């Protein structure tokens, strides 16, 4: 399936690109602090005292499978089987009532739509979570048929699998794809896929994103508009 429209193309640093792949949490929707707060509360309850800031620093960008591995390592034992079900239940309620679009994303998507540039979302999160967050922020319809989850591939970020899967479905050549990511793990995955990564440095220091492979960083999404000349 390809979602590119017409013969439009975009440019970045003089090079032509087929389209853009966005991360979801922290790039499209302002969900990371909400998710990290819920996760930190549950970890504290099971005997692993964690603040929201510590949760962000440790778990940002990881798949839930990897998050459980980290918890097991830190606890020295497997966490209760109820941990994930409780997290999914509590975070769904919190996100549905609190999540908002990341500032500047609507204008950026509007500009891409106006230029006929294709885009999609590739997230380590589950499809249900994306439906919740994108639905609550009014962005769901914009990504119909363009949503890709780590659940769709063998390996989550930082492996390149998800980005390559998304690019193939969208009809983008990996080397002609721009990725916007806010976590070092996501940047690593897109870089490994041979894509050009722009880091959104709102929660993570720009140097960490550049060290992971980002060729440029911005701290506001509206700063992308003049960079991407269509």
Give catalytic residue positions.
23
Q: Which residues in the chain belong to E strands, given as ranges?
A: 10-12, 15-17, 19-22, 118-123, 147-149, 177-181, 196-200, 216-218
Strand 118-123 relative to strand 19-22: parallel, antiparallel, unpaired? Answer: parallel
Please, are residues 21 and 179 in contact by the beta-carbon 8 Å criterion? yes
Supply 176's token pair.
């002609």
**Residue 61 to residues 27, 47, 92, 171, Cα–Cα distance (Å):** 11, 23, 18, 25
C-alpha–C-alpha distance, residues 86 and 181, integer Å = 28
Q: For residue 25, what is the DSSP state? A: B
C-alpha–C-alpha distance, residues 2 and 136, integer Å = 26
Residue 83 preceded by cis peptide, ω within 30: no
Identify the bridge partners of residue 180 per DSSP, sorted by sequence position.
22, 198
């Amino acid at each position: 399936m390809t979602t590119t429209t017409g013969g439009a193309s975009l440019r970045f640093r003089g090079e032509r690109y087929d389209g853009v792949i966005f991360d979801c949490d922290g790039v499209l929707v302002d969900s990371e602090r909400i998710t990290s707060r819920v996760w930190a509360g549950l970890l504290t309850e099971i005997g692993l005292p964690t603040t929201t800031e510590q949760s962000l620093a440790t778990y940002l960008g990881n798949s839930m499978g990897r998050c459980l591995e980290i918890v097991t390592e830190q606890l020295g034992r497997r966490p209760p089987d109820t941990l994930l079900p409780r997290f999914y239940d509590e975070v769904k309620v919190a996100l549905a009532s609190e999540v908002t679009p990341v500032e500047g994303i609507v204008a950026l998507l509007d500009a891409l739509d106006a230029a006929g540039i294709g885009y999609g979302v590739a997230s380590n999160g589950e499809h249900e979570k994306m439906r919740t967050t994108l639905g609550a922020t009014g962005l769901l319809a914009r990504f119909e048929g363009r949503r890709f989850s780590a659940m769709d591939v063998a390996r989550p970020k930082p492996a390149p699998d998800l980005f390559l899967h998304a690019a193939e479905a969208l009809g983008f050549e990996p080397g002609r794809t721009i990725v916007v990511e806010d976590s070092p793990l996501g940047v690593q995955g897109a870089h490994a896929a041979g894509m050009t990564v722009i880091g959104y440095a709102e929660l993570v220091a720009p140097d960490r994103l550049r060290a992971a492979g980002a060729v440029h960083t911005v701290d506001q999404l509206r700063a992308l508009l003049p960079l991407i000349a269509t």
